[in-house]
Chains A and B, each alone.
Chain A
Amino acid sequence: MSEHDDHGTPVSLKGLSANDPHLQPAARNPVLVERVIAVTFVLGIVLVVGFGACYWVNAAPWTLGATMGGGLFFLGVGLVAWGKYLMPKGPFVEERHVLANTDQDRDAFAAAIVERGGSVIKRRKMLGGLLGGGLGLFGVVALFPLLRSLGPLPKGTLFHTDWRSGTYAVDITGRRVQVGDLAVGSIVTVYPEGRQTSDRGQAVDQTVLVRISNENFVTQKGRETWGPHGYLAYSKLCTHLGCPVGLYEQELQLLVCPCHQSMFNVTNGAIPQFGPAPRPLPQLPLYVDASGYIRSQKDYDQPVGPGFWERS
C-alpha cells in the first residue's frame, strides 16, 4: 500500500509558491478588510468586558444577554471574515479514497468470522444453546427490576374515583358547597371532601359543578334524581386526553376543553357536540342533604378521563 492510499492525502506533493493564486487572500483589498475585522474584534472585546461589568454590578438580565451575545457575535463575525477573506482563497482538492478493501482482505475478514466461528461454535451447538438461553433468560429476568419496579400495577385505579355515597362536595379551599352557593349559570370545581389538595383529588376526582336552573334537572333517562336544584356535576377530565374541561360557555350550555376544543353539552349529559373527544363526560349523581349541602349519591358509573385498553 502506498502512502497515498493510506489516508487519501497527497503527502508527497510539493508546496505551492507564495505567488500561487490559490494561496492569495480571497479579498481584493486585504488591508481594508483587516481593518474592518480589527474593528469588529475591538467591538467584541468591548462588549465582552461590558458583560463582565454588567454581571459585576448585577445589571438587568437583558444587559447581560445583550453584552454577551453582542460580544460573541462580533468576535464570531470577525473570525469568519478572517477565514473567508484573508486566508488562502483556494479552492483546494482532496482525493477521495475508496472505503472498500480488496477482495482478498474482505475474504480474509469473512473467513476469520465464518470459518473460525464455524469450527468453534457450530460444533458445540449444545454449549451455544445453553449460553444463549442463559443470557436470554437473564434479559427477560432483568426486565422485572428494570420495568416492574418502576410503578404499581394499574389494577382498579383507573376505574374509580374517591367519590362515595354521601361524600361532601368541597371547593379548592375545602369549603362544603351548599345549595344556595351558586347562581344559575355559575360553575365551580369541586372535590370529594378531604381530597381537594391531594394529587389524586386534583388529578382524578376533580369535578365541575354547574348550576343551570333552579329546578331539578334531568339530563338523560335514568338520571332523574342526579341534578337536584339544577346542580349538575360532571367529571372535569376531558375524555379525549384528560385536560381539565375548564371553559364554560354559558349561553350555549357547553363545557369546552381548552386543549383540543372538545365541546360537551351540559344539558343532555355532556355528550360531545364537537371536537375529538369520543365519549360524554361521566356525570356524578348528586343529592342535597337536609342541611342543604351538595353530596354525591355514589361514585361515577364509568371510568373518568381518557380511554384505555381495559376500559369496556
Chain B
Amino acid sequence: MSSDVVNTKRAKANAAGPYGKVGQALNELDDRLGVAKGGRTFMDKIFPDHWSFMLGEIVLYSFVVLLVTGVFLTLYYIPSTALVTYHGSYLPLDGQRVTEAFASSVNLSFAVRAGLLMRQMHHWACDIFIGAMVVHMARIFFTGAFRKPRELNWTIGTTLLILAIVNGFLGYSLPDDLVSGTGIRIAFSIVLSIPFVGSYLGFFVFGGNFPGATVIPRFYILHVLIVPALILGLVGAHLFLLVRQKHTQFPGKGRTEKNVVGTPMFPVFMAKTTGFLLMVSGVIALLGAFAQINPIWQFGPYEASRISYAVQPDWYMGFLDGALRIWPSWSFHSFGHTIPFEVFIPAVVLPGIIFNIAYAWPAIERHFTKDNEMHNLLDRPSNRPKRTAAGVAVLALLSTLFIASSTDVMANFFHLPLTEVLWGMRILVILSPFVAYPITWKICKEVQAVKGGGKRKTTNVVTRTAEGEYVATAAPVYVDDAHSELEATPVPRFIIEEPDEQDESGVRTAER
C-alpha cells in the first residue's frame, strides 16, 4: 500500500518535471510568450552593493506612495471653485463661504477615516520624492555616472526632476487655501513677466485674468493625470535603460569596465528592495502620523485680498522664491513696453539656465575632456576636482538662494533689520559659488594626495607595557572588508539549499 503512495507521488513528480507546478506554469508561459531566457537573465541581473545606489530607490518608492495615497485623495477631493458654505467637523470654519476645493480638502482631512493621514503622507512623500531625486542626481553627477553610454538616462532624469517640481507645485495649489492661492497668484505674475507672449500665455493657462475660474480644474487634471502619466512613462524608460545598459559600479577588487559585481536580482536584491519599499512607506506613514504638514484649515480659504505672514512655498520652490526676493528691482520700461526683469530673470531665466546646464552637462564635459569612451566604472569625486567643484558651486548657489527665501523669518529670528539680512543674502548668494569652487577643488586635491584614500583603515591599538613602553598593534580587519576579499563568482545556475539527504557513505551531495 505504501509503495503505491510513493509511486503515485513519484509519478506526479515526474509528470510535473523537476520544478513542480511553478516550473509547469513557467513552461506554459514560455510556450506563449517566450520569456524563459529573458526572465532568467532578469533574475540574474546583478546589482552592485553601494549605499548610494539606494537613493534612486527612495525616489521610486516615494513615487509608489504618491500614487497610492494620491488615488485615495482623488476619491474625496472636488476640483471646483464653486462657493459653498462650510458646515463640516472643523468648527472654526463653520459657516464660512469657501470653494468646494477647499471644503473638500478640509473634509477629507477630518471627516474621512485615514483621510488626514493619507493627505499628510501624500505631501511628505512628495517632499521626499523630490528631495531624494535631487540627492540621487547629485550622486550621478559627482560619480560621473552620466557619461557615455548613459547621457540619455541623465536627460530623462533631469526631465523627471522638472516634471516632479511642476507637479508638486500643481498639487500644492489644489486645496485652494490661503497660502497655495498666493502661490498661484505669484505663478500667474511670473507667466505675465515673459516678454511678448506673457499676458496671452497667462490668460490661456488660467482661462482669463487671475484668479480665473478654471484654474483649479485645470491644475487638477494636470496634477492627477497628465503630468503623472509623463512621469510614469519616463520612470519606465529610466528603468528600462538601467536594465539595458546595466548598472555602473565603483572600482574595486574584481570589478572592471566589462563586468558588474554584486548581488543578483532574485532573491537577494528583490528581498532587500521590497523590504526597502516597505521601510520607505513606513517612514512616510510615520511622518504623516507625527509630523504635521500643510495644515490648510489653519491657513483658511484663499481670498485674493488676504495674506498670511511668513508665507513660504514647499522646499523645492525655495530657490526660486529666494531668487525673487534678492533680485534687485530692475525693470525695463521703454518704447511703450515693459519687461519685468525683476521677475523674468530670477523666475524664468535663472531656472532655465540651471536646467539647461544640467541637460548639456554630459556634452559640456565631453567637449572639455575629449573623452568619448564608454564608462561603466564610477569616478571617486575627488579624482575629478573640476567637475566636483563645479557641482558643489551650483549646489552652493542653490542652497544660498534657498536660504534667501526666508529673509523675513531670519530677520525676525536674529532681530536684525530686514535690509541688512537681504543685503547679506545678496552678497552670500553671489559669493557662494566662487568660494565653493576653489575650496572644493583644493579639498579634492588634498584627498587625492592621501595615501590609501577611500580605503577603510584598521585602527592601531596602542598599549603601554609595565615598563612604560608603547606598543602599536594593528586591529583585525573589519568583517565587511574581509568579506570583499572573496573573489566575485559568476551567478550560479542554481542557488541550492543545504542538502538534507545523505548517501550510504555519509557524504552529503548536492544536485548540480
Q: Which residues of A contact B (CB under 8 A)?
A: 6-11, 13-18, 20-23, 26, 28, 55, 58, 61-66, 68-84, 87-96, 99, 147-148, 150-154, 157-158, 172, 189, 191, 197, 199-200, 202-204, 206, 236, 240-244, 246-247, 258-262, 272, 274-279, 305-312
Q: Tell me if B289 is interfacial: C-beta within 8 Å of chain A.
A: yes
- Complex partner residue of A310 from B121, B285, B324, B337, CB under 8 angstroms: B337
Scan B260-297; emit 1 where CB is below 8 A from any A CB, else 0: 11111001111110111111111111111110000000
Q: Given A79-B274, A261-B408, answer yes or no on A306-B189 (Cβ-Cβ < 8 Å).
A: yes
**CA of A83 to CA of B270 in the docked complex: distance in angstroms?**
8
CB nearest neighbor in B for A73: B282
Distance of A163 from chain B, by nearest CB (Å)? 14
User: Contact: B492 with A15, CB < 8 Å?
Assistant: yes
The contact string, 1 if C-beta is below 8 Å from chain A, for chain B 129-165, is: 0000000000000000000010000000000000000
Q: How far apart sit A162 and B151, CA to CA, in the bound complex (Å)?
A: 54
Which of B308-316, B430-438, B457-465 has 4 or more CB atoms under 8 Å from chain A?
Answer: B308-316
CA distance A11 to B43 in the complex (A): 12
Q: A72-B278, A72-B279, A73-B279 are in contact. Are A58 and B338 (CB under 8 A)?
A: no
Contact B198 A309 (CB under 8 A): yes
B193 contacts partner chain A, Cβ-Cβ < 8 Å? yes
A94:B340 contact, CB within 8 angstroms: no
Q: Is the CB of A92 within 8 A of B285?
A: no
Q: Say yes or no for B113: interface residue by CB 8 A criterion.
A: yes
Complex contact B276–A16 (CB within 8 A): no
Q: Is the CB of A61 within 8 A of B272?
A: no
**A305–B193 CA distance with the chains assembled, in angstroms:** 11
Question: With A18-B499, A93-B261 in contact, do A241 and B486 touch (Cβ < 8 Å)?
Answer: no
The 7 closest A-B pairs by CB, nearest first: A65-B289, A73-B282, A76-B278, A69-B285, A83-B271, A79-B275, A307-B340
What 10 additional pairs, Cβ within 8 angstroms, besides A83-B272, A89-B483, A200-B209?
Answer: A15-B494, A64-B114, A69-B283, A73-B279, A79-B274, A94-B490, A152-B207, A158-B199, A240-B189, A242-B188
Most A CB atoms within 10 A — which of B114, B190, B287, B486?
A: B114
24 sample A-B contacts, Cβ–Cβ < 8 Å, listed by A number: A7-B41, A8-B41, A9-B41, A64-B113, A69-B289, A71-B282, A72-B279, A73-B286, A76-B282, A80-B275, A91-B261, A93-B254, A153-B200, A154-B199, A154-B200, A200-B209, A204-B210, A243-B185, A258-B307, A260-B321, A275-B422, A278-B330, A307-B339, A308-B199
Q: State A96–B45 Cα separation when bound (angstroms).
A: 10
B203 at the interface (CB under 8 A from A): yes
Q: Verify A309–B492 contact, CB threshold 8 A.
A: no
User: In the bound complex, how far is the Cα of B213 from the Cα of A247, in angstroms?
Assistant: 27
Known contacts being A26-B483, A82-B271, A148-B204, is A203 close to B285, with CB within 8 Å?
no
User: Is B174's CB within 8 Å of the partner chain A?
Assistant: no
Q: Chain A: which residue is nearest B244 at the CB level?
A: A99
Q: CB within 8 Å of A: which of B243-268?
A: 244-246, 254, 257-264, 267-268
Q: Is the CB of A151 within 8 A of B260?
A: no
Q: CB-CB < 8 A to A147: which residues of B?
A: 204
Chain B residues lying within 8 Å of A72, measured Cβ to Cβ, are 278-279, 281-282, 285
Q: Are A202 and B303 in contact (CB under 8 A)?
A: yes
Chain B min CB distance to A37 (Å): 10
Known A15-B512, A21-B486, A309-B196: A203·B304 in contact at CB below 8 Å: yes
* A7 touching B38 in the complex, CB below 8 Å, given contacts A94-B46, A157-B209, A276-B327: yes
> Which residues of B457-512 are within 8 A (CB) of A?
479, 483-484, 486, 488-499, 508, 510, 512
Q: How far is the CB of A252 from chain B (nearest CB, A)?
A: 11
Assess whether B185 is in contact with A242, with CB atoms less than 8 Å apart.
yes
Q: How far is the CB of B260 from chain A (nearest CB, A)?
A: 5
Contacts of A77 in B (CB 8 A): 275, 279
Q: Are A243 and B208 in contact (CB under 8 A)?
A: no
Q: Are B282 and A240 in contact (CB under 8 A)?
A: no
Closest residue of B by beta carbon distance from A92: B491
Chain A residues positioned under 8 Å from B271 (CB to CB): 79-80, 82-83, 87
Q: How many B residues, CB 8 Å from partner?
A: 130
Task: Give the CA-CA distance A202 to B182 in the complex, in Å.
Answer: 13
Question: Is the CB–CB distance between A307 and B491 below 8 Å?
Answer: no
A258 near B258 (CB under 8 angstroms)? Answer: no
Cβ–Cβ < 8 Å partners of A148 in chain B: 204
B205 on the interface (CB 8 Å rule)?
yes
A308 contacts which chain B residues (CB < 8 A)?
A: 192-193, 198-199, 338, 340
A276 close to B117 (CB less than 8 A): no
Question: B340 touching A69 by the CB < 8 A rule?
Answer: no
Name the B residues within 8 Å of A88 (CB-CB): 263, 268, 495
CA distance A122 to B197 in the complex (A): 39
B376 interface contact, C-beta 8 A:
yes
Bound: A17/B205 CA distance, A: 65
Instruction: Out of B275, B281, B343, name the residue touching A82 (CB < 8 Å).
Output: B275
Q: Given the complex, which residues of B lie within 8 Å of A277, measured CB to CB?
A: 329, 342
Q: Report A-chain residues with C-beta under 8 Å of the C-beta of B225.
A: none
Q: Is the CB of A64 within 8 A of B289?
A: yes
Interface check B407, CB cutoff 8 A: yes
Q: Are B490 and A307 in contact (CB under 8 A)?
A: no
B212 close to A (CB within 8 Å): yes
Q: Which residue of B lies closest to A200 (CB)?
A: B209
Compute how far the CA of A307 lies from the CA of B274 in the bound complex, rounded to whole angstroms.
51
- In the complex, chain B residues whose CB is within 8 Å of the CB of A197: 97
CA A99 to CA B37, docked complex, whole Å: 18
Q: How far apart sit A260 and B186, CA to CA, in the bound complex (Å)?
A: 11
In angstroms, how far is the closest chain A Cβ from the Cβ of B289?
2
Contact of B422 among A74, A80, A261, A311 (CB under 8 A): A261
Residue from the list B206, B263, B418, B486 in contact with A151, Cβ < 8 A: B206
Given contacts A13-B493, A65-B285, A89-B483, contact A58 B204 (CB under 8 A): no
Query: How many angstroms from the CA of A17 to the CA of B510 in the assembled complex?
Result: 7
CB-based contact B510/A76 at 8 Å: no
Pairwise interchain contact B286-A70, C-beta atoms closer than 8 A: yes
B residues near A15, Cβ cutoff 8 Å: 492-494, 496, 510, 512
Q: Which residues of A contact B193 (CB under 8 A)?
A: 306-308
Q: Is the CB of A243 within 8 A of B510?
A: no
Bound-complex Cα distance A68 to B118 (A): 11
Whether, in the assembled complex, B8 has its beta carbon less than 8 Å from a beta carbon of chain A, the answer is no
Q: Which of B394-452 contact A (CB under 8 A)?
A: 407-408, 418-419, 422
Q: Closest A residue to B510 by CB, please name it.
A: A18
Whether the Cβ atoms of A10 and B490 lie closer than 8 Å is yes
311-359 of chain B: CB within 8 A of chain A: 311, 321, 324-331, 333, 336-340, 342-343
Inter-chain contact A203/B210, CB cutoff 8 Å: yes
Is A243 within 8 A of B307, CB to CB?
A: yes
In contact, B245 and A99 (Cβ under 8 angstroms): yes
